[in-house]
């Protein structure tokens, strides 16, 4: 028999797939003997079944009956009992945390009768009982029955106006009892029947609503953004209620065992006295720093610290927790390995190594290339000492500026129009998600590091400042310390310091980039972040099997990439050397009528190319440099057909001489292609235009010999693009070998000749091609283009949004390798290439070489190196190290 329900004592932290993160960790804490209210978890499988079948899951009811009875026995009360009711919370909890995206219903079990029982239980506290009841109707109405939340808020507002008070806490028991009546009317009006009084029915409906909330729009959007699979489903936790709103000796809070923004050790968190449930997370009321709890309730504070130490020691990581204090008794409501900023991820991993909690291998897996990329963003340059408008909590680091918008819709619309915007809200809620995604940064007036805005922004790596001082947010302007900032005005927000500035503050490079560049201010060398990056990168390099090269075609780019740790050049695109003032020479080459004209043009290009190569070889002295022979269609170097045609027509009209333009027009017409990316380019050019490849090969060999003569060690590799058949490569190779032998003589210089694998036919005949190639480099840009039949220059902007929406792929295959299709071609070519020529060197130089996910794939396939743009070299190094550590880990298992 399938089992759909687990008591907390039956689960553990490794059952996240089944029990969700919250359920698994509640179970783990229960088993650690920590004070967790009793409860049970309904599995993600039950949710999947419910969503698939659209209703009732056979057998679930009976299991819930049994576990509810056990819960009632443990607590010594019955659900909704009129005299002494057991109340429960019904909380969502998926495998991956999706903060605020799904639903929770608290106080289930309250009705017109048990509200009196609750009051008696609370020592005659009527106010508390009626407040709990009105919260249930509100949450239940919104979540379970889709009653618009504003209607409840309006009723609450009316109650406060009627009483002449501003704050909820000024409403007394009688006011709240009336509010319950008002809420029930709102409920009945929208739902068509009265608020359900039967506790068990409330529970069942709440459970189903949580199941359904898996498919709420905002949850779907969040999953797409975070690449969480759509079919996991959520678990549901049914937990005995404990109350943080029973008076000043009660309260609720959230805490982190280390600072999730910087990683510094010490406890961090927020506490709200006399408050319930989501009040802290929602950022609705301004919270106290957790340290203040020591003064309010020392016993609970000390116990909390003890528990936090236990949890860190157990999970070996930063934990975040939610807790409630009910009349001086501490209860743990949740824990999980906490989300953190990129800087904190590095710093914490480094600290945990120092503290002996984890080893260096583990530390490498605790950070990611995407996080490293975030640390390489620039920061504000405050040397002009701009005066901040205000300051809030630096909730998610980064430097962002843009024009102010006040709604999620405006953020989406203006970002779509290409503007950079800062979304300013009093506080955010899950409905603001589209605007948060579209904005450069988020600024809120309320809430702390654990508010919705902060948690979601950190997850997205987006700059966010929360709870800004004195910030009053209006409809189309905000005021702060007497200043007015209107919609459309530009502000800058610093997610690290929490400062907010008017206007655009200039930005400066990150210290992590300075560290990689080797020009770090010595004062920063001991910064925890720099020390952490140094330690983790050093270890990643030690572990990595994949080498990391760079795509560069100038001396300065090569030098920078080398400082960033590149172990050579994997792709030097020679066509970039034919632009600017050299374009004219290329035109001469293309327009040449006679052999002499062509030879002259080539002879003029050769010394220029040689100088380019020598520059690069010098910078990469001792390291391999793969130079690719010219690849793109030649008309890319010529003026546009339309412009030329107009020029010639106008000249004719005027009776002017236009001989050059006329010849050019004829040439451009001659070379015009309907599908140039599938036309005369790559190796085909070399076979069609006599002397072109020969000139390049000679320039490469000459530059290598020149470096050797200077005492250097050139390691040139000549790469032929767009090969689809071994015969193409053999032809080029035959000619190249002769030239190389002639130029190199007895200088000792060695030149390898290899090919790109970027045409599907090349991948499928790799065994034959390997006979003529000393190395393969996968051109996954073209390979993706040709495997999918997607024009790489057009499709991403044209229709990929629809493909992403339909889930045909989760990410553009031009960004991250399509393992099943393009990846399969890579695998086949690698295997067949290596079996034909053992020791064949294999690399990748398409954009995927710097994409974290793809690097793991290339590691698995057994390539020798990846090559990527200079800025992505550190990211690829880290991912290469992680891939090696992870695959060693899975071999052990």
From the candidates 350, 452, 539, 635, give the one annotated as an active-site residue: 452
Candidate list 81, 427, 432, 758; residue touching ligand PEP; CB under 6 A: 758
Residues 576/663, Cβ–Cβ less than 8 Å: no
In whole angstroms, the minimum distance from the beta carbon of 782 to Mg ion comes to 4
In whole angstroms, the minimum distance from the beta carbon of 756 to ligand PEP comes to 7
Q: Which stretch binds ligand PEP (CB under 6 A): 57-65, 73-81, 712-720, 776-784?
A: 776-784
How many binding residues for ligand PEP (CB under 6 A)? 10
User: Which of Mg ion, ligand PEP, none is residue 225 near (CB under 5 to 8 Å by kind)?
Assistant: none
In whole angstroms, the minimum distance from the beta carbon of 67 to ligand PEP comes to 56
- Altogether, the residues listed in the chain come to a count of 893
Nearer to ligand PEP, 398 or 779 (CB): 779
Q: Convert 301-337 to b/e letters by CB count within 10 Å (16 or more is b).
A: bebbbebbeebbeebebbbbbbbbbbeeebbbbbbbb
User: Which of Mg ion, ligand PEP, none is residue 780 near (CB under 5 to 8 Å by kind)?
Assistant: ligand PEP
Candidate list 126, 631, 832, 851; residue touching ligand PEP; CB under 6 A: 631
Question: Is residue 573 within the footprint of ligand PEP (CB under 6 A)?
Answer: yes
User: Which of Mg ion, ligand PEP, none is residue 573 near (CB under 5 to 8 Å by kind)?
Assistant: ligand PEP
Question: Is residue 317 within the footprint of Mg ion (CB under 5 A)?
Answer: no
Bridge partners of 548, per DSSP, are 866
Among 397, 345, 376, residue whose Cα is nearest residue 515: 376
Question: Is residue 341 within the footprint of ligand PEP (CB under 6 A)?
Answer: no
293 contact partners, CB below 8 Å, separation of at least 6: 251, 253, 271, 300, 301, 304
Question: Is residue 632 within the footprint of Mg ion (CB under 5 A)?
Answer: no
Question: Is residue 846 within the footprint of ligand PEP (CB under 6 A)?
Answer: yes
User: Which of ligand PEP, Mg ion, none is residue 883 near (CB under 5 to 8 Å by kind)?
Assistant: none
Nearer to ligand PEP, 468 or 722 (CB): 722
Candidate list 310, 420, 621, 781; residue touching ligand PEP; CB under 6 A: 781
Question: Is residue 758 within the footprint of Mg ion (CB under 5 A)?
Answer: yes
Q: How far apart are CA 562 and CA 873, in angstroms?
A: 9
From the candidates 845, 856, 859, 868, give the one annotated as an active-site residue: 845
Candidate list 780, 816, 854, 869; residue touching ligand PEP; CB under 6 A: 780
In whole angstroms, the minimum distance from the beta carbon of 788 to ligand PEP comes to 13
How many binding residues for Mg ion (CB under 5 A)? 3
Q: Convert 456-484 to b/e letters by CB count within 10 Å (16 or more is b).
A: bbbbbbbbbbbbbeebebeeebbebeeee
In whole angstroms, the minimum distance from the beta carbon of 820 to ligand PEP comes to 18
Which of the residues 778 through 817 are near Mg ion (CB under 5 A)? 779, 782
Residues 342/361, Cβ–Cβ less than 8 Å: no
User: Which of ligand PEP, Mg ion, none is residue 846 near (CB under 5 to 8 Å by kind)?
Assistant: ligand PEP
Q: How far apart are CA 651 and CA 745, in angstroms?
A: 53
Q: How far apart are CA 525 and CA 496, in angstroms?
A: 19
Residues 500/474, Cβ–Cβ less than 8 Å: no
Residue with tokens 């909730």: 395
Bridge partners of 79, per DSSP, are 86
Question: Is residue 575 within the footprint of Mg ion (CB under 5 A)?
Answer: no
What's the distance, CA 760 to chain centroid? 31
Q: Which stretch binds ligand PEP (CB under 6 A): 608-616, 687-695, 724-732, 778-786?
A: 778-786
What's the distance, CA 566 to chain centroid? 24
How would DSSP label each residue in 614-631? HHHHHHTTTSEEEEEPP-
Nearer to Mg ion, 754 or 779 (CB): 779
Q: How far apart are CA 95 and CA 109, in angstroms?
A: 27
- For 521, phi then psi, to 5°, come to -55, 125
Q: How far apart are CA 283 and CA 452, in angstroms?
A: 7
Which letter does DSSP use for residue 94 in this model? E
Nearer to ligand PEP, 277 or 779 (CB): 779
Nearer to Mg ion, 361 or 782 (CB): 782
Q: In angstroms, what is the C-alpha Rg of the chain?
A: 33
452 is catalytic: yes
Candidate list 210, 569, 571, 602; residue touching ligand PEP; CB under 6 A: 571
Catalytic residues: 452, 845
Which residues of this protein are in contact with ligand PEP, per CB under 6 A? 571, 573, 631, 758, 779-782, 845-846
Which residues of this protein are in contact with Mg ion, per CB under 5 A? 758, 779, 782
């Amino acid at each position: 028999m399938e089992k759909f329900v687990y008591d907390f004592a039956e689960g553990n932290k490794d059952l996240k797939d089944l029990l969700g993160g919250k359920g698994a960790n509640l179970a783990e804490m229960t088993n650690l003997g920590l004070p967790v209210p009793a409860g049970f978890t309904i599995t993600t499988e039950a949710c999947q079944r419910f969503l698939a079948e659209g209703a009732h899951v056979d057998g679930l009811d009976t299991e819930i009956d049994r576990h509810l009875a056990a819960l009632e026995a443990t607590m010594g009360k019955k659900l909704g009992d009129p005299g002494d009711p057991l109340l429960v919370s019904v909380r969502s909890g998926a495998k991956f945390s999706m903060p605020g995206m799904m639903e929770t219903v608290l106080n289930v079990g309250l009705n017109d009768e048990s509200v009196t029982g609750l009051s008696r239980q609370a020592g005659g506290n009527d106010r508390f009982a009626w407040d709990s009841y009105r919260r249930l109707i509100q949450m239940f109405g919104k979540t379970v029955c889709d009653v618009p939340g504003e209607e409840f808020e309006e009723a609450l507002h009316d109650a406060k106006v009627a009483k002449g008070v501003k704050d909820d806490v000024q409403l007394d028991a009688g006011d709240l009892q009336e509010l319950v009546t008002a809420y029930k009317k709102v409920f009945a009006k929208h739902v068509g029947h009265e608020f359900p009084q039967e506790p068990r029915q409330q529970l069942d409906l709440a459970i189903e609503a949580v199941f359904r909330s898996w498919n709420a729009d905002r949850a779907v959007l969040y999953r797409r953004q975070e690449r969480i699979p759509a079919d996991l489903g959520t678990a549901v936790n049914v937990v005995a209620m404990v109350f943080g709103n029973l008076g000043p000796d009660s309260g609720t809070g959230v805490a982190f065992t280390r600072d999730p923004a910087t990683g510094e050790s010490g406890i961090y968190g927020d506490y709200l006295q006399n408050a319930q449930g989501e009040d802290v997370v929602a950022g609705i009321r301004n919270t106290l720093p957790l340290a203040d709890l020591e003064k309010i309730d020392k016993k609970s504070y000390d116990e909390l610290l003890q528990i936090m130490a236990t949890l860190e020691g157990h999970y070996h990581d930063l934990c975040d927790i939610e807790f409630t204090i009910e009349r001086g008794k501490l209860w743990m409501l949740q824990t999980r390995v906490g989300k953190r900023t990129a800087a904190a991820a590095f710093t914490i991993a480094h600290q945990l190594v120092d503290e002996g909690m984890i080893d260096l291998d583990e530390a490498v897996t605790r950070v990611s290339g995407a996080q490293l990329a975030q640390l390489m963003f620039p920061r504000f340059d405050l040397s002009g000492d701009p005066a901040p408008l205000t300051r809030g909590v630096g909730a998610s680091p980064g430097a962002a500026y843009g024009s102010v918008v006040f709604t999620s819709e405006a953020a989406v619309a203006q970002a779509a129009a290409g503007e950079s915007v800062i979304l300013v809200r009093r506080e955010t809620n899950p409905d603001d998600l589209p605007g948060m995604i579209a904005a450069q940064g988020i600024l809120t007036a309320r809430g702390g590091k654990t508010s919705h805005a902060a948690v979601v922004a950190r997850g997205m790596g987006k700059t966010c400042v929360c709870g800004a001082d004195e910030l009053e947010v209006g409809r189309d302007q905000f005021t702060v310390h007497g200043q007015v900032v209107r919609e459309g005005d530009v502000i800058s927000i610093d997610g690290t310091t929490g400062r907010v500035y008017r206007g655009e503050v200039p930005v400066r490079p990150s210290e992590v980039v300075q560290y990689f560049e080797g020009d770090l201010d010595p004062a920063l060398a001991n910064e925890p972040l720099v020390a952490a990056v140094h330690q983790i990168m050093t270890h990643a390099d030690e572990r990595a099997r994949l080498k990391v090269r760079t795509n560069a075609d100038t001396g300065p780019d090569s030098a920078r990439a080398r400082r960033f740790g590149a172990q050579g050049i994997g792709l030097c695109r020679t066509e970039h050397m034919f632009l600017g003032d050299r374009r004219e020479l290329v035109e001469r080459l293309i327009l040449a009528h006679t052999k002499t004209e062509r030879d002259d043009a080539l002879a003029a290009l050769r010394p220029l190319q040689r100088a380019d190569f020598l520059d690069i070889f010098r910078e990469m002295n001792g390291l391999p440099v793969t130079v690719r022979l010219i690849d793109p269609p030649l008309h890319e170097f010529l003026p546009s057909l339309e412009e030329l045609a107009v020029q010639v027509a106008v000249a004719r009209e005027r009776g002017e001489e236009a001989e050059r333009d006329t010849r050019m027009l004829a040439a451009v017409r001659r070379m015009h292609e309907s599908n140039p990316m599938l036309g005369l380019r790559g190796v085909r050019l070399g076979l069609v235009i006599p002397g072109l490849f020969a000139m390049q090969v000679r320039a490469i060999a000459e530059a290598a010999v020149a470096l050797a003569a200077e005492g250097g060690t050139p390691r040139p590799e000549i790469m032929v693009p767009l090969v689809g058949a071994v015969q193409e490569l053999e032809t080029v190779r035959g000619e190249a070998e002769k030239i190389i032998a002639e130029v190199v003589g007895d200088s000792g210089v060695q030149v390898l000749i290899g090919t790109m694998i970027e045409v599907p036919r090349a991948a499928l005949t790799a065994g034959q091609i390997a006979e003529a190639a000393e190395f393969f480099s996968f051109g996954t840009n073209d390979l993706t283009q040709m495997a999918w039949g997607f024009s790489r220059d057009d499709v991403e902007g044209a229709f990929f949004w629809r493909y992403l929406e339909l889930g045909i792929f989760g990410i553009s295959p031009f960004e991250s390798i399509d393992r099943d299709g393009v990846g399969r071609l890579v695998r086949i070519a690698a295997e067949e290439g290596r079996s034909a020529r053992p020791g064949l060197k294999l690399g990748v130089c398409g954009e995927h070489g710097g994409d974290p996910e793809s690097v793991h794939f290339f590691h698995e396939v057994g390539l020798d190196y990846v090559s990527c743009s200079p800025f992505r070299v550190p990211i690829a190094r880290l991912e290469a190290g992680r891939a090696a550590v992870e695959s060693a880990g899975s071999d052990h298992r």
